[in-house]
Amino acid sequence: MWDSNAGRGPPRLVKESQGKCVSGLKYVCLSDLHLGADYSVLTWMDPDGSTSLVKPSSTLEAFGVALREYVAALSGPDLPVLILMGDVLDLGLSSTGAVVQALKLFIQALFPAHQPAVFSSQVLCIPGNHDHHLWRAAQDQYFLDKLDTTWDQKFIPDLPQHSHLFSQDLMNCNLLTQVMRKYPNLKDASVNICYPNLGLSSPGGERVIVLHHGHYIDAMYRALSLLNVQLRGPDSRPKTAAQLERENGPWIDFLWSGLGGSGAVARDITTLYETSRSALASHAFSQQLGQLLLTQLAKGFGVGAETEVTHGLTVTNLVKGLVDLTLVRSAELERDSYSTVLSATAIADLRWYLGGPVRRQLVDEGPAGAKADVDLSFIFGHTHKPFTGELSVTGYTRPVAVYNTGGWVMDQPTMAPTQGAAAILIDDAMNLGSLRLFNDSLNGTSPAVHVCGVGGFRDADNPLLETMNGALLATTGPWQAFTTEASAALTTHARVLLRNSLDAVIRS
């Protein structure tokens, strides 16, 4: 179904392809960097497993050099916008101080002082499950900023449940903005929040791109909606992005987004999470994780384990049931799908999300209105497995082009050919291309950085792919250096994670 090798055109940098003018680069999309986490391959790690956030890793330094040269080769007069698509900050399992320290190194790599800028200082951010707290902070600030203008209304509006699909300047991410502005060359920087979806459109609205981190395609992060369906029936399945966030946002905050500041509880959950991802999840694992979450509820919110929620269902029943329903079963599915990019269940969920909440938001807010023949592309991450392809979805007359950004982590201790990362590039005409950055090494060999499309008519009519291949040829040296560093980091992280995972199992 998915063609991860499509789009490799002749390696020539051109300004015109098949009579079509090639537009300048407009956006560069990255996700799942997990800055601040030990298991991020962007974190500096010694062969013995010790890490440091004070100095940049060789992988991060090499990536910054290569990406900057590559973007410069593709850009027109306007600098492209960086879109950070969620789980960029590992706020779920790392302390805020560690995350900000890692963010500083990332900014220094992509926006170095005393060098020509290649990215706009205006950045867009789509929070994910690990940095969902960024959305919460933006919600609160937006409410406070609007309070003066709504004070005299008959009823003060509640917090917004989502941002407008095509508005990019409504909500500021104060944390990222302030960190960027600490650097003299970025004193005018701003980072705006779009959540859970961001829409981009060609001038006429005939070509639309929707970006989403990907957590609402994952059953783990729709757990309360799934529970609601069990209690109330299939008609209660979420139909809008607002309903998804209203029902599941607190669950995301509770489960991952805020655990980085929870001390020993967070460290225990990190170890258990890594254990589950290493194909060692068990009934004992689900019981331990459930107990840790119950402890956190009691300490943080004063909620007792035997408190009744509804229909005789206690907090203990709810928490342990949700852990089994989502995290453990999801881990079991993933253990069987390391050789594939999406399980059958995940493909069904992706179709539902595109045909349901995304379609509803396009109809309500998009320039294309209710047109079923819109040329839609969808970009997401979260899976840590980069891929491209097309998917037939009810409600659209054309197949939806799908691009996944993968992830920068080693979160299970065996090499798998599907794991890796990509950057998705978008030009002024809303053409897309996937720059496949790395995949796990197999037999000591890492695939070189390469360009992918989705295959079919879209690639034949996509001049960006040929231009990207030309720019890749012109920056071969920096990308080869990056591949060497990334491969070494992946090997080290996998070896350390395997050792730690086995130790965790022995202790349990």
For 473-484, what is each residue's pLDDT tens digit? 999 999 999 999
Task: Give the tokens for residue 328.
Answer: 């453990």
Q: What's residue 147's pLDDT? A: 87
Q: What Å distances lie between residue 136 and 160, 245, 272, CA to CA?
A: 10, 11, 26
What confidence score (pLDDT) does residue 307 get?
A: 64
CA angle 355, 357, 361 (to 5 degrees): 105
User: What's the pLDDT score for residue 157?
Assistant: 82
Mean pLDDT of 150-162: 85
152 lies in some domain: no
Q: 110: closest CA among 101, 100, 120, 96? A: 120
Backbone torsion region of residue 49, taken as left when φ is above 0, otherwise alpha when ψ lies between -120 and 50, otherwise beta: left
Pick 173 or 156 by higher pLDDT: 173
Which range of 14-18, 139-143, 227-231, 303-307 scores highest in mean pLDDT? It is 139-143
pLDDT at 102: 97
12 Cβ contact list (under 8 Å, min separation 6): 466, 469, 470, 473
Question: CA-CA distance, 485 to 480, in Å (whole number)?
Answer: 9
Residues 467 and 17 sit within 8 Å (Cβ to Cβ): yes
* CA distances, 394 to each of 199, 218, 476 (Å): 20, 19, 42
Q: Is 190 a residue whose pLDDT tops 90?
A: yes
Q: Tell me what the mean pLDDT of segment 29-37 comes to.
A: 97
User: Which residues, 6 or more positions from 459, have their beta carbon under 8 angstroms from its beta carbon?
Assistant: 6, 7, 453, 465
Q: What angle do CA 277, 280, 281 make, to 5 degrees?
A: 75
What is the pLDDT, as a whole number, of residue 386? 96
Cβ atoms of residues 213 and 126 within 8 Å: yes
What's the domain count of the chain? 1
Within 346-479, strands assigned E span 375-380, 387-391, 400-404, 420-427, 432-439, 450-452
Q: Which residue type is seen at 62?
A: A
Give the pLDDT of residue 76. Answer: 86
CA separation for the pair 133, 250 (Å, rounded): 10
333 CB-side CA count, 13 A: 18
Task: Establish if 239 belongs to a structural domain.
Answer: yes
pLDDT for residue 236 is more than 90:
no
Please compute the mean of the pLDDT values over residues 449-455 and round it to a whole number. Answer: 96
Inform me whether the pLDDT recorded for 21 exceeds 50: no
**441-447 mean pLDDT:** 74
**Mean pLDDT within 250-257:** 75
pLDDT(202) > 80: yes
Greater model confidence, 449 or 296:
449
Average pLDDT rounded to a whole number, residues 9-15: 36
- 504 located within any domain: yes
Q: Per mean pLDDT, which of 130-144, 150-164, 177-191 is the most reliable?
A: 177-191
Q: What pLDDT sits at residue 282?
A: 44
**Residue 240 forms part of a structural domain:** yes
Residue 265: its pLDDT value, please?
Answer: 45
In a domain, 486, yes or no: yes
Spatial contact of 429 and 23, defined as CB atoms under 8 Å apart: yes
Cis (ω within 30 of 0) for the bond into 367?
Answer: no
Model pLDDT, residue 163: 93
Q: Exposed, middle or buried: residue 128 (CB in 10 Å: 0-12, 13-18, 19+)?
A: buried
Percent residues over pLDDT 70 in the chain:
75
For the cut 80, the answer to whether the pLDDT of residue 14 exceeds it is no
Q: pLDDT value at position 94?
A: 85
Stretch 337-362: mean pLDDT:
89
Is 286 within the bounds of a domain? yes
Q: Tens of pLDDT along 100-122?
A: 999 999 999 999 999 999 999 99
Tokens 């993933």 correspond to 334
pLDDT computed for residue 150 by the predictor? 84
- In the prediction, which pLDDT does 227 show? 79
- Average pLDDT of span 190-210: 93
In tens, the pLDDT along 383-401 reads 999 999 999 999 999 999 9
Name, in order, each residue with C-beta under 8 angstroms of 258's C-beta and a sequence gap of 6 or more. Answer: 91, 92, 133
Looking at 143-157, 315-329, 383-397, 413-427, which range is the least confident one? 315-329
> Is 151 inside a domain boundary?
no
Residue 73 pLDDT greater than 60, yes or no = yes
* 454: Cα separation from own chain's centroid: 20
Q: Is the pLDDT of residue 507 over 80?
A: no
Mean pLDDT score across all residues of the chain: 83
Give mean pLDDT, residues 226-241.
85
pLDDT at 12: 32
Q: Is 80 contained in some domain?
A: yes
**Domain span holding position 288:** 1-146+157-508
Within 10 angstroms of residue 61's Cβ, the number of other Cβ atoms is: 19
- Residue 51's CB is within 10 A of a number of other CB atoms, namely 16
Mean pLDDT of 316-323: 62
More confident residue, 303 or 162: 162
- Per-residue pLDDT, averaged over 347-362, amounts to 95
Residue 176 — very low, low, confident or very high, per pLDDT cuts 50/70/90?
very high
Whether the per-residue pLDDT at 329 is higher than 70: the answer is no
Give pLDDT, residue 1: 43
**Whether pLDDT at 335 is above 60:** no
Distance CA 210, CA 443 (A): 37
